[in-house]
Amino acid sequence: MSIEVVNITKSYKNFTALHNVSLRIPEGELVALLGPSGSGKTTLLRLIAGLEQPEEGAILFHGEDNTNRDVRERQVGFVFQHYALFRHMTIFDNIAFGLTVRNRKTRPTKQEIKERVHSLLRLVQLDGLAHRYPSQLSGGQRQRVALARALAVEPKFLLLDEPFGALDTKVRQELRRWLRHLHEKLGLTILFVTHDQEEAMELADQVVVMNEGRVEQVGSPEEIYNHPANPFVYSFLGRVNLFRGRVRDGKVRLGEAEFETESENLRGGEWPAVGYMRPHDVEIALSAQDSQFVQAQVQHISLLGPIIRLDLKWLDTGELFEAELTRQRFCELDPQEKSTVYVKLNNLSFYVETPQEKTPLPAFIPIQASF
């Protein structure tokens, strides 16, 4: 079932949690709401579930208006970060709870409930644990029980609020793979909230990047990482280097380095410019391979397993930035702290703002490097 959010606004006293948000979640997709704390992710999830009511806008399920429907009428499966299991109930009773509290007309028989619960226990790989209590399970097992309980009522779609946030790194990684497999098996529409970029990129078909109650960008993990819509998205999705310079007559200057742009909007004027680039796009050599290499000094070396991170200082401007190398490439170069290396800035994007209009022109401008 598809979900459509149309011009939703939600405030709490003097704080506006969502500003005129519109979003469409296609049927059968696994979609991540990604953003920092306070960006409105959980508020949007709760509005879709019916746990909150919007001040403006509409929420449609498969084209049908559900804005004012009670949460019990929406057929939503909701999973909280901290499981919210009933401690005094067995695992069987926790999963069966949503079925046993139905009115007599819609309540399955005891045998049907038993069959459904044991089927779900097999699905979430907890078969044989029906008579245990939540305190007797690990955190990862309890989260799977919470998912089974949400699935027991046969929801039209599943909403997950930071489902793995309370778990350690290894368990989170295992549950990510498990949830992806579960989604492929069931084909349910799943919407989950996370502030973990890696989690969103690994799990989701589509990622919705939110900030300060607004949707900044919607796209596949590859799209938002390789083609970020604005500086916030670029900075939020992984580590980034910033280079400050100026644009004049279509050319951007960073120290002695000059870059040609392809944008006609930047002809005939001069503005401050900020270049954005990922650390893994910094190319390093021990000598200048061509005219596009500039000198930098190694300030610090961090050994991070398969990745080596170098803190560098651009000798031309004094700016500090990072580079990431594979361990093999690092061993080939064998750079030392305080030594001089040559760097080339690849895949550099510029963000330009005119001082007169105070608005971006356009958000990102791809460039070709030329010195």
Higher pLDDT, 84 or 319: 319
Which tens digits make up the pLDDT trace of 40-49? 999 999 999 9
Q: What is the pLDDT of residue 366?
A: 54
| Weakest-pLDDT range from 103-117, 225-239, 346-360 | 346-360
239-369: CATH topology: OB fold (Dihydrolipoamide Acetyltransferase, E2P) (2.40.50)
- DSSP-based three-state secondary structure for 318: coil
Largest Cα–Cα separation, the chain:
79
Banded model confidence at residue 358, pLDDT cuts 50, 70, 90: very low
Distance set, CA 185 to CA 180, 210, 349 (Å): 9, 29, 40
Q: What is the pLDDT of residue 207?
A: 97
Banded model confidence at residue 369, pLDDT cuts 50, 70, 90: very low
- Cβ atoms of 271 and 247 closer than 8 Å: yes
- Computed on alpha carbons and rounded to an integer, the radius of gyration of the chain in Å comes to 25
Average pLDDT of the residues of the chain: 88
Which tens digits make up the pLDDT trace of 156-185? 899 999 888 767 788 888 888 888 888 898
What amino acid occupies position 309? R
Q: What is the pLDDT of residue 55?
A: 93
Which tens digits make up the pLDDT trace of 124-157? 889 889 999 999 999 889 988 998 999 998 888 9
- DSSP-based three-state secondary structure for 262: coil
Q: What is the pLDDT of residue 370?
A: 42
What top-level class would CATH report for the domain 3-235? alpha beta
Task: Find, among 215, 173, 256, the residue nearest to 31 by Cα.
Answer: 215
SS3 for 56-80 is: EEEEEECCEECCCCCHHHCCEEEEC
Banded model confidence at residue 371, pLDDT cuts 50, 70, 90: very low
- DSSP-based three-state secondary structure for 226: helix
Which position has the token pair 């990072």?
Answer: 322
- Cβ atoms of 139 and 82 closer than 8 Å: no
Banded model confidence at residue 266, pLDDT cuts 50, 70, 90: low
Which tens digits make up the pLDDT trace of 49-98? 999 999 999 999 988 999 999 888 888 889 887 778 899 999 999 999 98
CA 303 to CA 321: how far, in whole Å? Answer: 17
- Cβ atoms of 149 and 95 closer than 8 Å: yes
Q: Where in the chain is the domain with CATH 3.40.50.300?
A: 3-235
Residue 160 DSSP one-character state: E
- Percentage of residues of the chain with pLDDT beyond 90: 55
Sheet-wide strand order for 340-345 = 282-285, 340-345, 294-304, 307-314, 320-326
* Residue 34 structure tokens: 């990604």
- Cβ atoms of 17 and 40 closer than 8 Å: yes
pTM over 0.75: yes
CA 118 to CA 129: how far, in whole Å? Answer: 10
Q: Where in the chain is the domain with CATH 2.40.50.100?
A: 239-369
Q: What is the pLDDT of residue 205?
A: 95
